Structure 1
Amino acid sequence: MSSLCPFAKATTGGVCPMKSDKKPDKSSGAACPVTGKGGEPKETSADHAAGEESAEDPRLVPAKCPFGYDSNTFKLGPLSCMVCQALLHDASKCKPCSHKFCKACISRFKDCPLCGADIEGVEPDAELQTLVDRFIDGHARIKRSLAGESKEAGADGKSKVIYEDVSMERGAFLVQQAMRAFRAQNIESAKSRLSMCAEDIREELKSSQDNLDLCSQLGAVLGMLGDCCRTLGDAPSAITYYEESAELLSKLPKKDLELVHTLSVSLNKVGDLRYYGGDLQSARSYYARSLDVRRNSVKEHSAVASQVIDLATSLAKVADVDRNLGNEDAAVEGFEEAIKCLEKLKLDSEQANLEQRVATVFTPSSLCSGLCIVPG
């Protein structure tokens, strides 16, 4: 699964919610989503701005999650699984200790991860799962008063309060939860959260078809869903998600390097699955499409080391398929070009993390990464 966050630009300060799991300051006083106790959330600059606006118009209510949380203040609590550290999915209770975890997470243990007691059985906790679902749904809405002369007041004479979708904030939150679950191998949980996210973006796109950010986000989320399906062994569904991701992203301007990377990786992953399915011609077609995307990117960003490594990887993938198809001359030419790309590459001390990628360009896992969750 890609480590690139499709919602980083939509969050405050451009902080990636998948890379930043900062624990909130205890002084924030965020209330418990179950009991409602614990005080008011700490005021942020956004809340302050909303407060100033509400001071001008008393009918306006500052936007916030009905539970008092957002993707930046979420912390482990009664709705979280202590194993995957994400929100509970298929909440289940251990017997006899009654500690609660995701069904997929606790199924891997014989002793309770919290207290060490022998697990005699596991039973679903539907009531707790309902609370979790309500918590997630709360992030789909913001509380805002209807303001303006054309808006009618409620029966009590006060301005009517409505809930509006804010798919970007909800999307960042869902992706964050999906990544936590994915890292802990709770793939069904990750898939569930990403599916919600994709559904939200599709709904938003109905009224904003030309919104490039939404299209880019949907393409990235679909690629992540493909990763989930591939990990679960559902190759047909993985291919469907990767192809839809590639189709969507290929229609967008190729100026954003993250978009280029996501597009080329989705194409490569379809190629990987076709390769393992024995369809070498189809695999080569997808690898070649990814190669074209990366060639064009390197023309514009020849000094960006990651782009050069991506190009070398694609060259090696196409050459590997040519070798298996018996096209020895084409294979040798492709491998030689990939080697030349890497020989020209100069990495400084701050790019030491890329050295490992260089070393794996010609390894089997890089040439065909169908069994690995790594960028292709």
Structure 2
Amino acid sequence: MKSNRNSSGVCPAKSDRNVSGVCPVTGKNPGGSTGNAEGKSSDPRLVPARCPFGYDSGTFKLGPLSCMICQALLHECSRCNPCSHKFCKACVLRFKDCPLCGADIDGIEPDPELQALVDRFIDGHARIKRSHASGDEEVLGGKNKVIYEDVSMERGAFLVQQAMRAFRAQNIGSAKSRLSMCAEDIREELKSSEDNLDLRSQLGAVLGMLGDCCRTLGDSPSAISYYEESAEFLSKLPVKDLELVHTLSVSLNKIGDIRYYDGDLQSVRSYYSRSLDVRRNAVKEHSAVASLVIDLATSLAKVADVDRNLGNESTAAEGFKEAIECLEKLKLGPEQSSLEQRRLSVLDFLHNQLAVK
């Protein structure tokens, strides 16, 4: 299947924040309509999609192809013995009793037939039933001819939505599998649209999430590889969208975080500094955006912490003081209580760091 043939506005994932159900590939809420990119048509000849499994292009409802534990499509589908209820392998292995009926689990075995059905369903989800809207459509038996139109943007949204469900439920293998499929779709489309900025930003976002999966699985080398590739794609884009700024800076920081625990402090400082530069430039353009100022102070603290570990105490103190100054100048209204809590938390950390001798 093709990935995104008709790219529209893109909202990359907030890698280390709650994305509130907004798809990082399309920038849309999976709970809303994701049909025609040109807007919903009122043409009565259009035939809405109807899926016998309970899924549709707007709501992605759970159906019999889903795991009731992670609420995502089944991955490595496994059958419990003797009750025969079916779940993702990674999900059901956490239980001694069947989560659905409570029966003792004597063992589990793979269900390749149901898994093959799930895989076919995913492959076919990028097609939606629709009638011709032009004036020269064929008429068969007095009815409009129904065709299937590629709506692969929905496929990207669908795969990411399934991955997010699985990731939240700690079924990381399933999340990684769905994100890999999404990345493969986008890479395939980029072969014929190398200069498509929307596709490149989508791929950068998905690669960042793949890095999160590998990091959670303890595969640091693969995580770094995904984060670096994500940063490479995003750093070549015109950094005007604040979501792109956030995703890029977070990917760079996460590489630094992983290398921090490896003890490579010079490399850590390099990545933290790159992230800091991205955030400085963003604040220059959008000084009124409170979240950017807090992100900037966080980056200053990260760089200062590394400087202290490298023995550069005076440089570290300057970094902590600059971060404190940024946060103390920031005034937030009562409607920004969550940001105020974050500001105070970072500020408290910075004052504690300055008090360390």
Is this a same-fold pair by TM over 0.5?
yes
% identity of equivalent residues: 76
Q: Does 1:49 align with 2:41?
A: yes
How far does the alpha carbon of each residue in 1:325-375 deviate from its partner, in whole angstroms, 9 at most, with x for none?
Answer: 1111111011111111111112222211223432443799xxxxxxxxxxx
Residue 124 of structure 1 corresponds to 110
The 2-side partners of 1:222 and 1:84 are apart by 22
Residue 107 of structure 1 corresponds to 93
Q: Is the 8 A contact 2:55 2:63 kept in 1?
A: no
How far does the alpha carbon of each residue in 1:70-102 deviate from its partner, in whole angstroms, 9 at most, with x for none?
Answer: 442221221111111111101111111111110
User: Aligned-pair RMSD on alpha carbons?
Assistant: 3.2
Residue 5 of structure 2 corresponds to none
Q: Helix, strand or coil: the match of 2:308?
A: helix
Unaligned ranges ≥5, structure 2: 1-14, 139-143, 350-357
Q: Is the 8 A contact 1:110 1:118 kept in 2?
A: yes
Q: Residue type of the partner of 2:343? A: V
The 2-side partners of 1:48 and 1:320 are apart by 52
Distance 1:362 1:181, change over 3 A: farther
Distance 1:258 1:82, change over 3 A: same
The 1-side partners of 2:37 and 2:216 are apart by 41
* Runs of 4+, deviation exceeding 6 Å: 43-48, 65-68, 144-148, 159-162
Q: Residue type of the partner of 2:153? A: M
How far does the alpha carbon of each residue in 1:216-244 deviate from its partner, in whole angstroms, 9 at most, with x for none?
Answer: 11111000000000000000000000000
Q: 1:258 aligns with which of 228, 238, 243?
A: 243
The 1-side partners of 2:156 and 2:338 are apart by 29
The 1-side partners of 2:37 and 2:193 are apart by 28
Q: Is the 8 A contact 2:25 2:157 kept in 1?
A: no
Distance 1:219 1:360, change over 3 A: farther
Q: Is the 8 A contact 2:80 2:109 kept in 1?
A: yes
The 1-side partners of 2:326 and 2:203 are apart by 32
Q: Is the 8 A contact 1:171 1:197 kept in 2?
A: yes
Q: 1:186 aligns with which of 157, 162, 171?
A: 171
Q: Residue type of the partner of 1:238? A: A
Residue 66 of structure 2 corresponds to 80
Q: Is the 8 A contact 1:315 1:338 kept in 2?
A: yes
Q: RCO (CA 8 Å, sep 6+): is it higher in 1 or 2? A: 2
Matches within 5 A, 1:249-288: 249-288=234-273
The count of residues paired between Structure 1 and Structure 2 equals 327
Distance 1:9 1:183, change over 3 A: closer
Report the CA distance between 1:163 and its aligned residue.
Answer: 5.7
Q: Residue type of the partner of 2:91? A: C
The 1-side partners of 2:316 and 2:37 are apart by 57
Matches within 5 A, 1:165-314: 165-314=150-299
Distance 1:8 1:246, change over 3 A: closer
The 2-side partners of 1:198 and 1:6 are apart by 18
Residue 11 of structure 2 corresponds to none
The 1-side partners of 2:348 and 2:75 are apart by 36
Q: Residue type of the partner of 1:75? A: K
Residue 94 of structure 1 corresponds to 80
Q: Does 1:344 align with 2:317?
A: no
The 2-side partners of 1:99 and 1:187 are apart by 21
Q: Helix, strand or coil: the match of 1:49?
A: coil
Matches within 5 A, 1:17-32: 17=30, 20=31
Residue 7 of structure 2 corresponds to none
Q: Residue type of the partner of 2:75? A: H
The 2-side partners of 1:84 and 1:269 are apart by 26
